[in-house]
């Protein structure tokens, strides 16, 4: 059995969790391969809403093993909070049983959070992600497999502390790390996760050899990729397909499907250019924010909103090669008189269909739109009943009213990617799958 990948195709928060939720029951392993607790996904469990940041979304499938992979930066204290919340809901303790931390993942320490708090430019989540990756690239970071070696060497501890304090000083942060606090923090990690820190690449590889199915869960999105996104307003990892297997410790030949997840419109949190951005004060931008509840899961910041940007989506496809597209939150557009799709940019008088390489140039791009008829707003129940009908009658997208289906067909045409599923509400049942596609439960 192969590995499948789920990736955000925009600036994050595309609703990847729902697609993962649908794919996880067929997978025996769900693996995060990059990022850390800058990501956030919301899981609805009975009457309770659970916000998770590092635990893979596949956690709700009780037979699914969970890996925090080699390419991640992991905050062990935030993980502890997530695990405690999970335990209080389910009485399950997955750590060491079905949840494993890669030995090769980097540790996010209090120093990284403090350093990140000095960011004034990017608008980071403040979780220490960039500083932890910076240490990794400088080859001075601490990976989970390094902890015991560091603890037993007081000279090393003291040198690390001196370096950290110099760096905090250089960005005007007054807090200091002491050798004692660093040592006790590292000791706490070893004590808290005794059977959990493993060579997860070997575990996943052996699962593949046993014919098991792997789900590789991307965090953030294509436009936040450090190499391919809107640099410097990006996250500090490769969020794309090329890193999915590498960050999990397996080779790319295992991959069968790579799903790109896109909202039917666009959102972005943090700073940086956003050509199809709309105002949040009235009009369709405010409609998207309010109807779509567009607030960040990790920071609670209001998300910026805008029309669907096909230039961004096609760029994301260029370096991810999606085998299928999942369009989420199409229902949110209900009630707008007209729906626009950005199909190109006016860049200093020239029409372009690619992302220029500097953020200043992207900021100068003016969106060129095509305009489509809107469709009425429907209740959650009406959308669910449409999705139910699509499944029970086996008619796929034919269950959608013409004007709704037209938007889906237009996205498919403009992107050149098969739209395999369309989300029409937060409920698990509120998805309409393409007939015969990978999300069509009838084709199992």
CA-to-CA distance for 232 and 271, rounded, in angstroms?
Answer: 10
235 binds ligand IMP (CB under 6 A): yes
Shortest distance, position 320 Cβ to ligand IMP, whole Å: 17
CA-to-CA distance for 41 and 16, rounded, in angstroms?
Answer: 8
Q: How many of the other CB atoms lie within 10 Å of CB of 91?
A: 7
Residue 227 a catalytic site member: no
Interface map 55-94 toward ligand IMP (x if CB under 6 A):
----------------------------------------
Q: In what order do the strands lie in the sheet with 431-433?
A: 197-198, 99-102, 65-68, 29-32, 214-217, 3-8, 255-263, 324-328, 419-423, 431-433
**CA 121 remoteness from chain centre:** 22
Pick one of 9, 101, 269, 368: the residue that binds ligand IMP (CB under 6 A).
269
Which of the following is catalytic: 21, 26, 41, 116? 41
Shortest distance, position 8 Cβ to ligand IMP, whole Å: 8
* CB-CB contact of 33 with 254 (8 Å): no
Task: Give the count of residues interacting with ligand IMP (CB under 6 A).
Answer: 21
Residues in 7-36 that interact with ligand IMP by CB under 6 A: 11-13
Q: Which residue has the tokens 């993980």?
A: 79
255 binds ligand IMP (CB under 6 A): no
* CB-CB contact of 386 with 399 (8 Å): yes
270 binds ligand IMP (CB under 6 A): yes
Which of the following is catalytic: 13, 21, 309, 331? 13
Exposed, middle or buried by CB within 10 Å (0-12, 13-18, 19+), for 437? middle
Residue 13 a catalytic site member: yes
120 SS3 class: coil
122 binds ligand IMP (CB under 6 A): yes
Residue nearest to ligand IMP (CB): 270
Shortest distance, position 40 Cβ to ligand IMP, whole Å: 6
CA-to-CA distance for 327 and 2, rounded, in angstroms?
Answer: 24
CB neighbour burial string for 396-430, b if at least 16 within 10 angstroms, e if fewer: bbebbeeebbebbebbbebbebebbbbbbbbeeeb
305 binds ligand IMP (CB under 6 A): no
* CB-CB contact of 389 with 399 (8 Å): yes
Shortest distance, position 358 Cβ to ligand IMP, whole Å: 17
Binding region for ligand IMP (CB under 6 A) out of 84-92, 208-216, 218-226, 388-396: 218-226
CA-to-CA distance for 155 and 134, rounded, in angstroms?
Answer: 22
Shortest distance, position 123 Cβ to ligand IMP, whole Å: 5
Choose between 103 and 294: whose C-beta lies nearer to ligand IMP: 294
218 binds ligand IMP (CB under 6 A): no
124 binds ligand IMP (CB under 6 A): yes
Please give the positions annotated as active site.
13, 41
State the residues that interact with ligand IMP by CB under 6 A.
11-13, 38-40, 122-125, 127, 129-130, 219-220, 224, 233, 235-236, 269-270
């Amino acid at each position: 059995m192969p590995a499948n990948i789920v990736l955000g195709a925009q600036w994050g928060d595309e609703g990847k969790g729902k697609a993962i939720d649908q794919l996880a029951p067929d997978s025996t392993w769900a693996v995060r391969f990059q990022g850390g607790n800058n990501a956030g996904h919301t899981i609805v469990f009975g009457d309770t809403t659970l916000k998770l940041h590092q635990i893979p979304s596949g956690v709700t499938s009780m037979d699914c093993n969970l890996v925090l992979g080699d390419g991640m930066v992991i905050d062990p204290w935030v993980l502890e909070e997530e695990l405690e919340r999970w335990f209080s809901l389910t009485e399950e303790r997955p750590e060491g049983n079905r949840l494993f931390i890669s030995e090769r993942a980097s540790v996010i320490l209090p120093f990284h959070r403090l350093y990140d708090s000095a960011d004034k430019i990017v608008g980071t989540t403040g979780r220490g992600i960039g500083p932890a990756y910076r240490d990794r690239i400088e080859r001075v970071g601490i990976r989970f497999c390094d902890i015991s070696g560091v603890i037993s060497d007081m000279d090393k501890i003291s040198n690390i502390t001196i370096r950290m304090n110099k760096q905090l000083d250089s960005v005007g942060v007054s807090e200091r790390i002491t050798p004692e606090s660093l040592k006790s923090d590292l000791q706490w990690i070893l004590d808290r996760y005794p059977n959990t820190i493993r060579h997860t690449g070997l575990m996943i590889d052996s699962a593949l050899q046993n014919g098991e199915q792997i789900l590789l869960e991307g965090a953030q999105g294509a436009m936040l990729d450090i190499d391919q996104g809107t640099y410097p307003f990006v996250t500090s990892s490769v969020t794309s397909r090329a890193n999915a297997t590498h960050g999990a410790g397996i080779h790319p030949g295992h991959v069968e499907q790579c799903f790109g997840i896109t909202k039917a419109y666009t959102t972005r949190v943090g700073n940086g250019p956003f050509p199809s951005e709309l105002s949040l004060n009235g009009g369709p931008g405010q409609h998207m924010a309010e109807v779509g509840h567009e607030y960040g899961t990790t920071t609670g910041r209001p998300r910026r909103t805008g029309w669907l940007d096909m230039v961004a989506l096609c760029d994301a496809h260029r370096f991810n090669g999606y085998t299928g597209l999942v369009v989420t939150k199409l229902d949110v557009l209900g009630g707008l008189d007209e729906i626009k799709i950005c199909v190109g940019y006016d860049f200093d008088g020239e029409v372009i269909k690619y992302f220029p390489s500097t953020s200043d140039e992207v900021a100068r791009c003016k969106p060129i739109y095509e305009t489509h008829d809107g469709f009425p707003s429907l209740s959650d129940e009406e959308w669910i009943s449409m999705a139910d009908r699509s499944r029970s009658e086996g008619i796929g997208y034919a269950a959608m009213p013409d004007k709704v289906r037209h938007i889906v067909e237009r996205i498919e045409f403009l992107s050149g990617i098969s739209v395999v599923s369309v989300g029409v509400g937060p409920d698990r049942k509120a998805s309409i799958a393409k007939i015969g596609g990978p999300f069509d439960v009838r084709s199992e």
